[in-house]
Amino acid sequence: MNAFFLKLAALFYLAGSLSYLAYVVFMSEKAVSAGRFSLLFGFGVHLVGFLMRYFEAGYTPITNLFESLSFFSLAVVGVFLVVERRYRLKVLGAFVSPIAFILILFTAFLPSEIQTIPPALQSYWLPIHATLLFVGDAIFAVAFAAGIIYLIQERQLKRKKLGPLMRRLPPLDVLDEINHRCLTFGFPLLTVGIITGAIWAEYAWGSYWSWDPKETWSLITWLLYAALLHGRLTVGWRGRKAAILAIVGFGAVLFTFLGVNLLLPGLHSYASFGR
Amino acid sequence: MSKKSSESFFEKVWKFFASLRLAIPVLIILAVASIFGTIIEQNKPLEHYRRFYSESTIKILSKLGLFDMYHSWWFLLLLVLFAINLTCCTVDRLPNVFKVVRNPKRTLDEGMERSLSLVHRWRKKGKVEELREKFASALSQAFAKPVETYNSDVLHLYAERGAFSRFGVYITHVSILIVLVGAIIGNIWGFKGYVNIVEGDQISRVQTRGSKGIVDLGFAVRCNDFRIEYYPNGTPKEYISDLSVIEGGKEVLRKTIEVNDPLRYKGIWFYQSSYGTAGATNITVDVRKKEDGSLIKRLTLLPNQKVKVEGVGTISAVDFDPNLQGFGPALRVRVEGESGQPLSFWIFKNFPDFDKRRGQPFYLVFSGIDEIYYTGLQVAKDPGVNIVWVGCVFMVLGILVAFFGSHRRVWLKLVPQEGGRVEVVLAGAANRNRLAFEKTFQRLKEELSKV
């Protein structure tokens, strides 16, 4: 049953993506409200699906790739709705809603059955640790989108061509402000997420840090965002540099989440036990 | 002469280590360097690397310490550089922050008035002395209790909030140093090891990783029992070891541990980490009649022991799998009939009717096994871990204070003018989140103009 809600959410996210793209192409305000409502409904339906799965499974459903992708997409939409409300940045939707749609689309290719939860994941640290990190990652996804828009907008301004897209893109300083605010919320969440992971690891495996590829990549992400933070606060990395680092940083986020499991097989084995 | 040049040299070195121009490259180099250890598998035996790399590549990689990268001299050097940078930054800037916090600028001079972006001026009838109390109480109510300073006949009111937030950055930096200290202590005085205990046996020494070799625990740990619980679909639900701590020949502690629920004794932790079979005894197989399922004979077998059953043949148990393809415990039996080919096939504990399909007048049921397991325990002692946690707590607090705190300062200057008037100058500054402070300032402006 929860899978049905997930599919419905995916349709809403698709509708949201198309509406926001229609806004960029036709500059219609109606498209914006269609996009906003699609995402809002999609989020509601998705949340219901998540809660249903929570009660059906009896554990926080963030334990395998299917569930993680689904939750990540939920978090991205949630964070976007908050940011949109605050900054009224319609065009951000054209970049963020496709991210959410692609994430949830991937789940269609994965087994959706509720699986049994391996002993290593039976801990109350699972919901705390995973939720903190995915919300943090979703914030970084929004910063990534703002970074991409920044670079496009800057290019247009440099060419001094008033293209049709440009009028729809927000001013550079607003994009930079979003970049900064995202870092302000994303970085503490990433930090607390890594720390809760360390506490869990200490309690489950007897080692708070073992340079496991997943741990190491989360540290790499943390170091990159720390560099961006210091560049911003002290050397005055604004605008372009900050946008590029937000894009690179999100690359590291994605690699930590997906790349480590998919491209470095056999190294990371949180769920395996006993052989 | 020589003294002066050596001082300036020292200063140069100090400035280099205390600079942010160093901090950003160090952070990025640490990030990029860390990637190698995730691509090249760490701490594997040489044979493992031979499968992926040629001899000459192995030589180069091992020279560069890339097989144990995070403990290699160059990576540790990077961490040391990182720690020195953090220390110098903190020592360099902290005294100044103390000065600003303990002895803030309480008067608004002309230079500041020009440099601050939030300044508002208006005029008011009355005398400074009369207005003093009104403004002071209005400011206390709307923002914070001000400090009053008279500069000849000009009155300065100064109020601030969140001065402490200036320390956030340094709390965070020091917290990272605390974590590093905890890690070093753990590396020097702690150990990590691994031990297998067969059910019924006990151990008092543990083989550790690294240079410490075999460590004597000073007490013994006995594994009374190991068992696996399965979900209905046959996947493992829990691995459970029943452990006893024995000291001076007496059991002093008994605990059942699981994954995510370790045993701790005298600062040494025992974690459920793996398991295996150390052999099997007493396998029970029932031979039943197909017609009515009645028991022909109950066999108690040892592994590979052949037992003859009248009218059936010779039966032996040749293999065991605790969870064959997700169908739970399975036994491979070999039946040598009185005539014909010997047959071997699997029977399942969870599916007692499985063997009926063979279509013989009898069928075999796997009804139990007394398997001897060993439990694999990770053994760890880390006297630095609590220091690491203290560091983590400070890190979170420091980051929250640094990111969400803001040192907001407000000056109110009352300058007596001719004709019984007073010029009021309101100025404000915040070191973080200026947009939010602008709103606060607007509100203050409104509140104070009502005075």
* Residue B404 to residue A119, Cβ atoms within 8 A: no
Average pLDDT over residues B222-247: 89
Inter-axis angle of helices A29-57 and A90-106, nearest 10: 30
Q: What is the pLDDT, as a whole number, of residue A168? A: 67
Give whole-number Cα distances, B375 to B183, B228, B270, in Å: 29, 11, 11
Phi, psi (degrees; rounded to nearest 5) at B216: -85, 125
Rounded-to-integer distance, Cα B372 and Cα B361, Å: 33
Residue appearing with tokens 């789940």: A107
* Residue A191 to residue B34, Cβ atoms within 8 A: no
Two tokens at B139? 């400011």
Contact status, residue B390 vs residue B153, Cβ threshold 8 Å: no
B222-231 long-range Cβ contacts below 8 angstroms, 24+ apart: B222/B197, B222/B246, B222/B251, B223/B197, B223/B198, B223/B199, B223/B374, B223/B375, B224/B199, B224/B200, B224/B254, B225/B199, B226/B199, B226/B275, B226/B373, B226/B374, B226/B375, B227/B373, B228/B275, B228/B322, B230/B323, B230/B328, B231/A116
Q: What is the H or E stretch that residue B83 is in?
A: helix B73-102
Task: Say whether residue A269 is in contact with chain B using an 8 A CB cutoff.
Answer: no
Contact status, residue A82 vs residue A55, Cβ threshold 8 Å: no
Average pLDDT over residues A75-89: 90
* Residue B238 to residue A122, Cβ atoms within 8 A: yes
Chain segment B88-140, per-residue pLDDT in tens: 999 998 999 999 889 888 998 888 888 998 999 999 888 888 888 999 999 99
- Nearest CB among B20, B28, B37 relative to A211 is that of B37
Average pLDDT over residues B3-31: 82
Task: Say whether residue B23 is in contact with chain A using an 8 A CB cutoff.
Answer: yes
Q: What is the pLDDT, as a whole number, of residue A141? A: 95
Q: What is the pLDDT, as a whole number, of residue B1? A: 42
Average pLDDT over residues A82-90: 85
Contact status, residue A154 vs residue A160, Cβ threshold 8 Å: no
- Nearest CB among B38, B262, B274 relative to A206 is that of B262
Q: Examine the pLDDT at A220 and tell me if it is beyond 50.
A: yes
Closest C-alpha to B245, from B185, B209, B202: B202
Residue appearing with tokens 């040391």: B80
Chain segment B362-421, per-residue pLDDT in tens: 888 988 887 788 999 999 999 999 999 999 999 999 999 999 999 999 999 999 888 888
* Residue A116 to residue B233, Cβ atoms within 8 A: yes
* Residue A203 to residue B260, Cβ atoms within 8 A: yes
**For residue B37, which residues of chain A lie inside 8 Å, CB to CB?**
211, 216
Q: Which residues contact B89 (CB under 8 A, 6 or more apart)?
A: B18, B19, B20, B23, B173
Alpha helices in chain A (DSSP H): 2-26, 29-57, 65-87, 90-106, 125-159, 164-168, 172-205, 213-230, 239-254, 260-263
Two tokens at B435? 């947009």
Q: What is the pLDDT, as a whole number, of residue B438? A: 92
Contact status, residue A267 vs residue B38, Cβ threshold 8 Å: yes
Three-state SS at A260: helix
> Residue B219: which pLDDT band, with cuts at 50, 70 and 90?
very high
* Residue B28 to residue A227, Cβ atoms within 8 A: yes
Contact status, residue B23 vs residue A223, Cβ threshold 8 Å: no
- B 237-266 residues with CB < 8 A to A: 237-239, 258-260, 262
The minimum CA-CA distance between B28 and chain A, rounded to whole Å, is 6
Q: What is the pLDDT, as a whole number, of residue B311? A: 78
Task: Say whether residue B441 is in contact with chain A using an 8 A CB cutoff.
Answer: no
Q: What is the pLDDT, as a whole number, of residue A163? A: 63
Contact status, residue A96 vs residue A89, Cβ threshold 8 Å: no
* Residue A188 to residue B30, Cβ atoms within 8 A: no
Q: What is the pLDDT, as a whole number, of residue A103? A: 93
**How far from the centroid of its chain's Cα atoms is residue B436's Cα?**
34
CB pairs under 8 A between A and B: 116
Q: What is the H or E stretch that residue B411 is in?
A: strand B408-417
Give DSSP secondary structure letters for B103-132. S---S--HHHHHH-SEEEEEEEES-HHHHH
Q: What is the pLDDT, as a whole number, of residue B280? A: 66
- Nearest CB among B38, B399, B403 relative to A216 is that of B38
* Most trustworthy range by pLDDT among A27-31, B105-109, B169-173: B169-173
Q: Which amino acid is at A13?
A: Y
Write down the mean pLDDT value for chain B.
88
Rounded-to-integer distance, Cα B279 and Cα B372, Å: 5
Task: Say whether residue A259 is in contact with chain B using an 8 A CB cutoff.
Answer: no
**For residue A219, which residues of chain B lie inside 8 Å, CB to CB?**
31, 34
Q: What is the pLDDT, as a whole number, of residue A162? A: 62
> Residue B434: which pLDDT band, with cuts at 50, 70 and 90?
confident
Mutate to test the interface with B, among A207, A219, A263 (most CBs of B within 10 A): A207
Give DSSP secondary structure letters for A65-115. HHHHHHHHHHHHHHHHHHHHHHH--HHHHHHHHHHHHHHHHHGGGS--SPP
Q: What is the pLDDT, as a whole number, of residue B2? A: 47
Rounded-to-integer distance, Cα B89 and Cα B24, Å: 12
Average pLDDT over residues B143-165: 91
Inter-axis angle of helices B168-189 and B385-404, nearest 10: 170
Contact status, residue A223 vs residue A103, Cβ threshold 8 Å: no
Rounded-to-integer distance, Cα B65 and Cα B37, Å: 10
**For residue A187, which residues of chain B lie inside 8 Å, CB to CB?**
399, 403
Q: What is the pLDDT, as a whole number, of residue A156? A: 80
Write down the mean pLDDT value for chain A.
87
Alpha helices in B162-315 (DSSP H): 168-189
Residue appearing with tokens 């208006």: B122
Q: Examine the pLDDT at B156 and tell me if it is beyond 90.
A: yes
Task: Say whether residue A220 is in contact with chain B using an 8 A CB cutoff.
Answer: yes
The minimum CA-CA distance between A175 and chain B, rounded to whole Å, is 15
Rounded-to-integer distance, Cα B366 and Cα B345, Å: 12
Task: Say whether residue A173 is in contact with chain B using an 8 A CB cutoff.
Answer: no
Q: Examine the pLDDT at A274 and tell me if it is beyond 50.
A: no
- Nearest CB among A198, A206, A216 relative to B271 is that of A206
Chain segment A131-187, per-residue pLDDT in tens: 999 999 999 999 999 999 999 888 888 876 666 666 667 788 888 888 888 999 999
Give DSSP secondary structure letters for B335-383. EE-SSS--EEEEEETTBTTGGGGG--SEEEEEEEEEEEEEEEEEEEE-T
Two tokens at B201? 């046996």
Average pLDDT over residues A234-248: 87
Mutate to test the interface with B, among A218, A223, A228, A244 (most CBs of B within 10 A): A223
Q: In terms of residues, how long is chain B?
A: 451
Residue bearing the bigger pLDDT, B57 or A219: A219
Two tokens at B106? 């309480």
Q: What is the pLDDT, as a whole number, of residue B376? A: 92
Average pLDDT over residues B344-357: 87
**For residue B38, which residues of chain A lie inside 8 Å, CB to CB?**
213, 216-217, 260, 264, 267
**For residue B260, which residues of chain A lie inside 8 Å, CB to CB?**
119-120, 122-123, 203-204
Q: Which amino acid is at A1?
A: M
The share of chain A scoring above pLDDT 70, in percent, equals 92
Average pLDDT over residues B179-206: 92
Q: What is the pLDDT, as a whole number, of residue A166? A: 61
Q: Where are the beta strands (DSSP E) in B141-292?
A: 147-151, 154-161, 191-198, 202-208, 214-230, 236-247, 250-258, 263-265, 268-289
Q: Examine the pLDDT at A271 and tell me if it is beyond 50.
A: no
Q: What is the pLDDT, as a whole number, of residue B152? A: 82
Rounded-to-integer distance, Cα B207 and Cα B191, Å: 10
Task: Say whether residue A236 is in contact with chain B using an 8 A CB cutoff.
Answer: no
Q: Examine the pLDDT at A92 and tell me if it is beyond 80.
A: yes
**For residue A64, which residues of chain B lie inside 8 Å, CB to CB?**
none
Average pLDDT over residues B201-222: 89
Q: Examine the pLDDT at A264 and tell me if it is beyond 80.
A: no
**For residue B35, which residues of chain A lie inside 8 Å, CB to CB?**
220
Mutate to test the interface with A, among B170, B260, B378 (most CBs of A within 10 A): B260
Chain segment A134-147, per-residue pLDDT in tens: 999 999 999 999 99
Rounded-to-integer distance, Cα B282 and Cα B344, Å: 19
Task: Say whether residue B273 is in contact with chain A using an 8 A CB cutoff.
Answer: yes
Average pLDDT over residues A246-264: 88
Q: What is the H or E stretch that residue B23 is in?
A: helix B20-39
The minimum CA-CA distance between A25 and chain B, rounded to whole Å, is 32
Q: Examine the pLDDT at B290 and tell me if it is beyond 90.
A: no
